[in-house]
Structures are given as structure tokens and as C-alpha cells.
Chains A and B, each alone.
Chain A
């Protein structure tokens, strides 16, 4: 099976702009989670989607949002970008919400100038 794929792999944006990141889970997986990874804070949970519904949400401001489509693909949007949003954004999938193990994609590296 193909792994989790994320596009784009790299992005450069300026403050105030918005950005949309895409994630395609492993075939058959219905749950998609998003994480932000920074050197200072490590990996932090953003939100999880299962069957097009947000099931869990982390402690991030409302500028961070997401959605999931009927084919389980997910997008994450960040509006009004701040310098501190520069990070590696990781997507992880699992085949059902109750499964504990998650499989990560390669990430999208976002740089905000």
C-alpha cells in the first residue's frame, strides 16, 4: 500500500497570507490527524477527522482549521499567517478512530517570512 502523502512538501509564505495543505491517507484509512512540529514545542496535535467529522481538537487558535472529504483526503488551512506558524506540518492516518497506532506522512515544511 502507498503511504500517507502530503502536498506540497515545501511552502514559503509571508505574514498575513493564508495557506492550504493537503493530505491523502493510506488507502482504506478513514481517520486523519494533523500535527505541528517545531524545534521548541515538538509535535503538537492540531485536530483529527474521521468520516468527514472533526473528532478531536488541540489547543490551537481558530486560524487553524481543517476538513475531510468523502474519499478521506484532508486539507488543513491556516489563515492570517504569523511568523510563529513556521513549522513542519504532519498528517497521520489510521484505519479506524479506535486504533491507537498512526502512520505519518513526510510533512509539509512551511516557512513564514
Chain B
């Protein structure tokens, strides 16, 4: 257990569906992240929230919409996704966002878009 919990673990959705991924951290961290892990590609940083404010959005398509209602919870709202969006979505958290930051990861949500 890392203290970072993601639900659901697996999700299959159609291209017209709307779904949400949830992440919860019990570590008292104040920064949270969404990463996308695709086969044979580096982990891609999608969004960063620090103190519940979005500080970075790496040009992610608008069909992905993050929400951070408090420092312990992070959501990724999905709508009208494409098959190429199928991947493992990882949530991470850290204490601060400085140079010595160590990120703690959840187990991920395996998303399949059909």
C-alpha cells in the first residue's frame, strides 16, 4: 500500500460515455498529479495540482478534465474519448513540488476505450 488509492482499477467505456477516475491520498501531501502510461512510451504528465490549484496542464485535450476539490482527492473526468486514449492512468502525490520531491503512486486505472 502506498497511501494513494485509485478507483476503479479497470474501466471500459464507449466513445460517447462520460466517466470519472478517482484518486485519494492518505499521506498528508499537498500536491497531486495525473500521469498517462501507454505502452512503449514514457510516463506522460497530464496535470499537476498544488494546494488544490492547477499549476500545470501539459497540453492535454479538453476531453480530459481534472478536478481537485481538496488536498486529498483528485478526479479525472472523461468524455468523448478516443481509442488512442486507452492506457493506464496513474495518480501520484507528493509533499510540496520542490526539487527534492518524491512522488508516491497509486496502482492506476486501466482504461479501455471501445
Chain A complexes with chain B:
no
Which residues of A are in contact with B by a Cβ distance under 8 Å? none
